[in-house]
Amino acid sequence: MAFSYMPGFGNDFETETLPGSLPQGRNSPQRPAYGLYAEQLSGSPFTAPRGTNERSWLYRIRPSVKHTGRFKPASYPLWKSAPNVGDHELALGQYRWNPVPMPKEPTDFIAGMRSITTSGDVLGQTGMAAHVYVANRSMVDDHFFNSDGELLVVPQVGALRFVTEMGVIELRPGEIAVLPRGLVFKVELVDKEVRGYVCENYGAKLTLPDRGPIGANCLANPRDFKTPCAWFEEKETPCRLTVKWCGNFHVTEIGHSPLDVVAWHGNYAPYKYDLATFSPVGALLFDHPDPSIFTVLTAPSGEEGTANIDFVIFPPRWLVAEDTFRPPWYHRTIM
């Protein structure tokens, strides 16, 4: 059998084996030819500069999500990877989880934290961890601060109150809050039970993404972010302060509340944001934009256009495009 090749390095190629199987003028038609499935394979973040942005659109007989079942361990002992971490049971493949059940025993916000996955290195201050929290009890004389990273909190069930040394944030589903690294706080429950998500950011702090050609408006606007006013607690009773440091936890007893800041000024502070104020931008003709256009907050890395974390939402919106199916059937990305 003779095989053909296309010449060049780093070119933008196009090729098809059946006539008309490659769409022209669009990437994700509503009905690809021959009943094929459109998928995007990303070799760089969506937001990488044009010169280093890599992606290919594939039109296949069946979606690649159907190509795998559950994996079993295999051994190739002479092939090593860095760092050489040895055997592990890290999940591989597509997974989803049922909601974490509400606790039956009294459980506060810190004790109710459940890690789902981690990435990077807490000691090297890169990467992140994703957690689910459940709680049915307020923190009264217990306080906490995280030296490993800032916390992005996304409630899913129930309202809660973050009582911090810089003020009080009340948070409900549909809102998010960011608690900076090193901020002392306790969590009080507004509702009887709460559940939600926490992103623990080990790297550079979250910030607003650059809008690029979108311009000066839309997406998340700075005026919609809210920082609490000063508040303090004058209480001289036994309290506990727990610190998370280099992945470990340490607790100390103190004879007063650490939430005793009467006044403050500066630009390092907790804040909340109502996701309903996000102004999305969509397609106008055909082919929907990459999900990076729905980024609320981003934590940059040392490489331009590559984020350590992107927090992206898909809010209710009018979204109309001719002859286009909104998401690709399945998306594989190195990010």
Structural domain contains residue 117:
yes
Report residues of the chain scoring pLDDT below 50: 82
How far apart CA 237 and CA 252 sit, in angstroms, is 14
Q: Is 103 exposed, middle or buried (0-12, 13-18, 19+ CB in 10 A)?
A: middle
Tell me, letter by letter, the H, E, C secondary structure of 109-177.
CCCCEEEEEEEEECCCCEEEEEEEEEECCCCCCEEEEECCCEEEEEEEECCEEEEECCEEEEECCCEEE
Amino acid at 200: E
Residues 39 and 123 in one domain: no
Structural domain contains residue 217:
no
Q: Which of 89, 100, 109 is nearest to 164 (CA)?
A: 109
Say if strands 194-201 and 150-157 run parallel, antiparallel, or are unpaired.
antiparallel
Contacts of 76 (CB under 8 A, 6+ apart): none
Structural domain contains residue 92:
no
Instruction: Write down the pLDDT at residue 82.
Output: 45
Structural domain contains residue 223:
no
Say if strands 55-60 and 194-201 run parallel, antiparallel, or are unpaired.
unpaired
Residues 193 and 290 in one domain: no
pTM: 0.79
N-to-C CA span, the chain = 37
Residues 313 and 188 in one domain: no
Structural domain contains residue 178:
yes
Contacts of 28 (CB under 8 A, 6+ apart): 38, 40, 57, 287, 288, 324, 325, 326, 327, 328
Residues 248 and 143 in one domain: yes
Instruction: Write down the pLDDT at residue 109.
Output: 94
Residues 257 and 189 in one domain: yes
What residue numbers bound the domain in which 286 lies? 33-67+280-333
Residues involved in catalysis = 288
Residues 191 and 238 in one domain: yes
Residues 124 and 250 in one domain: yes
Residues 119 and 259 in one domain: yes
Residues 250 and 302 in one domain: no
Instruction: Write down the pLDDT at residue 6.
Output: 73
Residues 256 and 181 in one domain: yes
Residues 250 and 300 in one domain: no
Residues 153 and 191 in one domain: yes
Residue 180's CATH number: 2.60.120.10
Structural domain contains residue 213:
no
Q: DSSP code of 50?
A: G
Instruction: Write down the pLDDT at residue 74.
Output: 62
Structural domain contains residue 162:
yes
Say if strands 37-42 and 330-333 run parallel, antiparallel, or are unpaired.
parallel
Structural domain contains residue 62:
yes
How many domains would you assign to the chain? 2
pLDDT digits (tens, 9 = 90+) for 35-44: 998 888 888 8
How far apart CA 107 and CA 187 sit, in angstroms, is 11
